Amino acid sequence: MLQLLRKNPYRELEKRLGYTFRKKDLIEMALVHRSYRFEVKNVESDNQRLEFLGDAVLGMVVAAQLYRAHAHVDEGVLTERRSRVTSGKALAETAARIGLGDFIRLGKGEEQAGGRQRQSLLSDALEAVLGAAYLDGGLRAVEKIAAQLFPAVMEDSAQEEWKDNPKGKLQEVVQRLHGRSPDYCCVGEEGPPHQKTFRVEAVVNGKVMGRGEGSSRRAAEVKAATEAVNALLDLEKARSPEGSR
């Protein structure tokens, strides 16, 4: 195993992760890329096994968080959200945000090839760190890191699912809450025929929940639906036990 060069060189990284390792050799191993092991004598292990473990543990922890946070969402949607949060792209972005690449030990060739910025390398290293955290402190340790790193990503993933189809999302929410479809009312048209502006209201159960303007009725409906979805989800969250605390 590598020898630590100074007293806890990972303190800053641990601060960014929101977790302090009791066994520093675990986080040390998580940051050893295979290119470093191949080039440096007396280095017998790299982070590939920890990456394997971290991938599995992360999937479980994120699934549990999503299950608790979205009580009315079905299995298919939860699976999609988990995939978004745990995708290589999302993990690489998170790793880059916390500067994980600065701590990874790379071989000279990988370093010169820009390995510290490579998405696959960053995502693999982050999974390895999570695997190391699991060995160091069990699921609680991984949950602590996930709470620090992923809540915003998970929220964004929920938004991403419907931002390209807000009318479909509004239909889904209104059907679930009220057993009916929303209505769209065109309340105004302005401008010459070649340059009209339409104003539309999204009406849910007799109440206006969103308003939108656009160069076509459909564009106005999309904006009204987006506003209505956000309003309904905010109301639903406020009425939940967690939101009322």
Of the residues 28, 46, 51, 55, only one is catalytic, namely 55
Tokens of 158: 């929920």
Residues whose CB falls within 8 Å of the CB of residue 234, separated by 6 or more in sequence, listed in order: none
Of the residues 28, 51, 110, 127, only one is catalytic, namely 127
Residue 10 has phi, psi (to 5 degrees) of: -105, 10
Spell out a b/e string for 125-141, using b for 16 or more CB atoms within 10 Å of the CB, else e.
bbbbbbbbbbbbbeeeb
- CA 66 from chain center: how many Å? 11
- CA 113 from chain center: how many Å? 28
The C-alpha angle with vertex 148 and arms to 132 and 21, in degrees rounded to 5, equals 30
Tokens of 83: 């995939």
How many C-beta neighbours within 10 Å does residue 220 have? 25
**CA distance linking residue 152 with residue 161, whole number of Å:** 15
Tokens of 107: 């071989």
Catalytic residue list contains 55: yes
Contact assessment for residue 166 and residue 225, using Cβ atoms and an 8 Å cutoff: yes
Catalytic residue list contains 234: no
Active site residues: 55, 127
